Amino acid sequence: MSILMRTVAIVALALLVGSTMLAQSTSPATPPTENYSGMYTFLQDGEFVQITLEDAGRVTGFVSRYGDGESDRGAFLDQFFKDGKLDGKKLAFTTQTVHGVWFEFKGTLERDPGKTPDDEGYHILKGALTEFRTDINKKVSSKSRDVIFKSFPQDLATPPAKKSD
């Protein structure tokens, strides 16, 4: 083999190994072994957050909550996720702005080992929720708090199969 051929083979091998290592280092985060998609409690009774875990760490969903401003007090508002990401068990999402209010959550997905899927709180979203508000003068204020959102019980009841006579 000539020196030129040997050099080309070594460069090709180095590129192959390098691209394989790069692909491994930039691969998406390992998805959780459990399916954490579902509905979770939110700040008040009757409010909830819907989480759907997609491929490659993408998270979609929305928050359904009661409005508390002068123009929307008591009205049910849906705030879809503008951004959502899952990295292992670390979850983060930001909602779209509705009537000058949006939310940002950063926390973890957890499971209560003492519960079953048909119990409230089988899965838990635990972390910090920041509520942002824009006032009439376009000034943004924020309030952050630690939260625990519990999964709603999963409906495991399926109609029994019909018996053939």
Of 44, 37, 47, 131, the C-alpha closest to 91 is 37
Determine the pLDDT at residue 1. Answer: 53
Determine the pLDDT at residue 86. Answer: 94
CB 87 within 8 A of CB 80: no
pTM as predicted: 0.71
Report mean pLDDT in 10-residue bins for the chain, 165 residues: 51 48 45 79 93 90 88 85 94 94 95 88 94 91 95 65 51
Determine the pLDDT at residue 73. Answer: 81
Determine the pLDDT at residue 164. Answer: 53
First and final C-alpha spacing in the chain: 79
Q: Which CATH architecture has domain 38-150?
A: Beta Barrel (2.40)
Give the type of residue at 39. Answer: M
